[in-house]
Amino acid sequence: MAASEGLSFSVASVVEDVLHQQWNRPRALDLETRRAEEAASRRYEAAHWLRKMAGIVAAKDLPAEPSEEEFRLGLRSGLILCNVLNRIQLGAVPKVVESLNDSALIPDGAALSAYQYFENVRNFLVAAEEIGLPTFEASDLEQGGISSRVVNSVLALKSYHEWKQAGGNGVWKFGGNVKPNTSVKQFVRKNLEPFTNSSSRNVPTNEKTADANKTNSSRSLGTLVHALLSDKKPEEIPQLVESVLTKVVEEFEHRVASQNELRQTISDDFTTAKGKKSFMKFSDDNNMKVEDKSHTLKHKQERSCRNYTTDEKSSKQIIKQQMIFNRQGSDLQELKQTLCATKAGMQFMQMKFHEELHNLGMHIHGLAHAASGYHRVLEENRRLYNEVQDLKGSIRVYCRVRPFLSGKSNSYMSTVEHIEEGNITIKTPSKYGKGHRSFSFNKVFGTSATQAEVFLDMQPLIRSVLDGYNVCIFAYGQTGSGKTYTMTGPKDITEHNQGVNYRSLRDLFYLAEQRKETVCYDVSVQMTEIYNEQVRDLLVGDSLNKKYPYSPCLNLLPP
């Protein structure tokens, strides 16, 4: 069995890796110690023989009892190995790259490049392989390499030399292994990849190279097994073989599981993302083509992964753009709805505004109508009012009886006999006894009548003045009858005993204030005295004229 279906590794590679692991596997402490001692002994033997074969000068950098590192550095340039092999078998290594200076021991390869080192080592390995010697990896001469394999190869060369010196009779064997029938070509191909690990050789590029590699791996395996068993005692071999086989089975199962998992992951991702058919196709009819198909499959998987990654990015970008587009669409739709709602709101508001404006107009119209009606009613009222005043009489005469002045009420008898509404009866002397006479007036005020009661009959006439009618109120009577008292008031005047003039002016300005929104009135006052048929202006500040004591009445002009 070289490979399983769909696997990108061969059984040989698994076994080889396990053998390497086994080679490097930590052993028990005592075994390790013993192995270290044995390895050191074998290394010393190899170094001693190489120094002897190469000569002291050529092998001066290789100590007689070198450590692993000294052994590796001493042989790293490949010069000693090639020269010794050429001495044993002339021309076995046709071309040897010599060092530029005397010393072949250059700590980190400053004088010789890695390629030059590799050339010598490679040529040695090719020649050794051709002879049938166990070889080693070129990387074993690098830091971290397996120096025991180099030691083993050198001791095999020693054995071969001794066999040749003994006459070369029969078939040379080393450690019980028959000389393998190998081809140089295979090793050349293999070693053209310096410092590579064994697994890298198991990735063929085509079927032909897969065959070559398979054969090569088999030979490499043989070498590994040979190297692994060569230093073992017979009783250790069964246990070692069992351990190696167990490891091989575990490693193989592990790799199969990993391959299947990888395949399943890629298949699932690809199917989910693109819905395309699977790119993974494996053929099971030809085991010889499995590795090539696996290799091709790997390329396909990588290409698919790359395509998948690119497609996934494009898909994500498209989905993102689609989401933005959808969001903008929904925003636009929302804006349209908002605009429609605003439009409807505006129309509703406009309708309400027109409606309220219409209602307001109607209300104002009603108010204007009511106002005009009010003015009509007011005018009618005024007309009727003044008509009533006219009916009462344009000339009205009132009679007021003055009471006795203080201190005279007991010594005089009143002449007033009887007072009844508009009539007053006066006692008059007569030669036939007592007489009496009656007089009629609009109204007769007795001695107990107050200033307010007297003004109450004058008050309606003040309103007629503001309605544009001419009104004249005056008092007539003999001296001391109470004219001044009635028209103005007593000397110690108060709001209670104010006469007709003060009360009339107060009412006049009060009504003017009430009507100020509709009518503007101008008020002026003039005060004259007629005495002994002489008229005098009492408001003139002439020393000859008598100044009226209540001139402040002039201040009652309207604003």
Ligand X SMILES: Nc1ncnc2c1ncn2[C@@H]1O[C@H](COP(=O)(O)OP(=O)(O)OP(=O)(O)O)[C@@H](O)[C@H]1O
Binding-site residues from annotation for ATP: 477-484
Q: Which of 199, 209, 481, 497 binds ligand X (CB under 6 A)?
A: 481
Cα R_g (the chain), whole angstroms: 74
222, with CB counted inside 10 A (0-12, 13-18, 19+), is middle
**Distance between CA atoms of residues 30 and 491, nearest Å:** 155
Q: How far is the CB of 497 from ligand X (least distance, A)?
A: 9
Measured CA to CA in angstroms, residue 403 lies from 345, 365, 408 at distances of: 83, 60, 10
Query: Residue 479 or residue 518: which is nearer to ligand X going by CB?
Result: 479
Candidates 94, 329, 366, 490; binder of ligand X (CB under 6 A) is 490
Binding-site residues sit at: 477-484
> Can you tell me which of 477, 519, 529, 540 binds ligand X, judged by CB under 6 A?
477
Q: Does 403 bind ligand X (CB under 6 A)?
A: yes
- Using CB under 6 A as the binding rule, whether residue 402 contacts ligand X is answered as yes
Q: Is 482 in the site for ligand X (CB under 6 A)?
A: yes
94 binds ligand X (CB under 6 A): no
For residues 202 and 481, what is the distance between their CA atoms, to the nearest angstrom?
A: 159
What whole-number distance in Å separates Cα of residue 258 and Cα of residue 262? Answer: 6
- C-beta of 432 vs 531, nearer to ligand X: 531
Choices 26-34, 182-190, 479-487, 517-525; region in contact with ligand X by CB under 6 A = 479-487
Check binding of 195 to ligand X (CB under 6 A): no
If one asks whether residue 184 binds ligand X (CB under 6 A), the answer comes out as: no
Return the residue of 385, 469, 485, 509 that touches ligand X, per CB under 6 A. Answer: 485
* Helical (H) or strand (E) element with 437: strand 433-440
The sign of the CA dihedral 29, 32, 38, 41 is: negative
Q: Which of 169, 272, 411, 479 binds ligand X (CB under 6 A)?
A: 479
For ligand X, give the closer residue by CB, 345 or 490: 490
Nearer to ligand X, 249 or 405 (CB): 405
Residue nearest to ligand X (CB): 482
Helices 207-230 and 147-165, packing angle to 10 deg: 80
Which of 237, 197, 199 minimizes the C-alpha distance to 15? 199
Q: Does 450 bind ligand X (CB under 6 A)?
A: no
Span from 40-48, 399-407, 459-467, 514-522 in contact with ligand X (CB under 6 A):
399-407
- In order, the DSSP letters of 187-249 are HHHHHTSTT--GGGGG--SSHHHHHHHHHHHHHHHHHHHHHHHHT--TTTHHHHHHHHHHHHH
* CB-nearer residue toward ligand X: 339 or 493: 493
User: Considering the complex, what minimum distance in angstroms separates the CB of residue 514 from ligand X?
Assistant: 32
Residue 483 near ligand X by CB under 6 A: yes
Comparison of 485 and 550: residue with beta carbon closer to ligand X = 485
Q: What is the DSSP letter of 65?
A: S
What would the two tokens of residue 530 be? 């007629």
Nearer to ligand X, 329 or 403 (CB): 403
Give the x-and-dash track for 343-382 against ligand X (CB under 6 A): ----------------------------------------
How many chain residues bind ligand X (CB under 6 A)? 12
Q: DSSP for 138-187? A: GGGGSTT--HHHHHHHHHHHHHHHHHHHTT--S--EETTEEPP---HHHH
Neighbour-count burial for 91-123, b at 16+ CB within 10 Å, e otherwise? ebbeebbeeeeeebbbeeeeebeeebbbbbbbb
Cβ proximity to ligand X: between 345 and 477 the closer is 477
Q: Count CB-CB contacts under 10 A for residue 215.
A: 14
Which range, of 72-80, 109-117, 369-377, 397-405, touches ligand X by CB under 6 A? 397-405
446 binds ligand X (CB under 6 A): no
Residues in contact with ligand X by the rule CB under 6 A: 402-403, 405, 477, 479-485, 490
